[in-house]
Structure 1
Amino acid sequence: MSRLHIDFAQRSWRRTVFHTHPAVWAGAALGLLLCGGAALAGYQVFEERQQRFAAIERAAQRQAIASQPRQPAKSAVQITEAQAAFVNAAVLQLNLPWRDLQEAVAAATPPTVALLALEPDARKRVLKITAETKNSDDMIAYIEQLKQQELFSGVQLLRHEISQLDPNRPIRFQLEAGWSAP
């Protein structure tokens, strides 16, 4: 004989859950998993899209900034003409070709000449040299040696004197040598 299923109880959610077939539950769980995966994938696509829009907006802002005419920035500190001239003079002094000047002078200086001072003037591109020697022939030879140096253009004697206080009576002289751009 076949079994009869007679159920006179009222419908409730508990009875519905209890009588639901396990395959339906498995399908519902699988559906929920698929919906969760789809939601996660959709969220990732949404985030990537937002990042791309933000990158495009930043690039557009950079391009807009780059295409604007640049205005020189106003400095908060006003520099007077005297200060500017002083700073420019200091920069010229710092940019002197010291090594080249010293090497050229050292190459031309014989042992009979004693160098006393080197005074460069960066604006005029002139080097004043003060030196001593025992006789005038060494002084003239030294000037000729300096004229042969490639760095110097136009070496001329400015003044000379015989030191009367020194018993050896050396000749102290000053000359001026213009230098060309290195």
Structure 2
Amino acid sequence: MSISKDVRTPKDIVLRLKNDRDYFIDYIEKFSVFITHSVGYKPSLSRQYLEDARRAWIDDISRVSDREMSGEELDHFKHASHLCFWLRRMGPILEVLQIDPGIPPDTVGDKGKELELILKYRNEYLAFQVGLFMCGDFEADDKHPKIDHDYLLTFCHFMRYKHVSPHAIFLIYKSLFVAKEVPYFSESYLEMIDA
């Protein structure tokens, strides 16, 4: 997805999202169109809720930076997780509408699963995807993790009905991108229990 040709690096995008209200609104609007159009829908968004999400995100990351990081800049996982949290909390997508009501939506396969997420959890899905793309843009290998439908459904359900903190979302994003295959038991542990 290309948002703007004048913004070159992921860090530039994050800075601009923080510093330019109109850019933030345009970015999230375009992103929501990007994820809903693929299944034949379009979003109806609240500009005010987008502004509220941006303001809460900025306040939150400033507070975390000052109180928990001694004023240091937060990494992309923290920026993404706090943005995900506030987008979900403010719920900027008011509804999703079929682009062409005369054409029945694709309800089978991957498109059907994505449609289910969008219709059931529009704001949670948007929030997760925005944060996921933000994290992926910073990762050197430029690989976005393949996330199955059940994982997304569970995440979105928890985001809507449980209290999932930005710190928990941070751990989720970080584990999706940086987790390496680690054996559950180390060799020394196995030797100890065999002794």
Q: Do they fold alike, i.e. is TM over 0.5?
A: no
TM-score by length of 2: 0.24
Higher relative contact order (CA 8 A, sep 6+): 2
Select the structure that is richer in helix: 2
Structure of higher CA gyration radius: 1
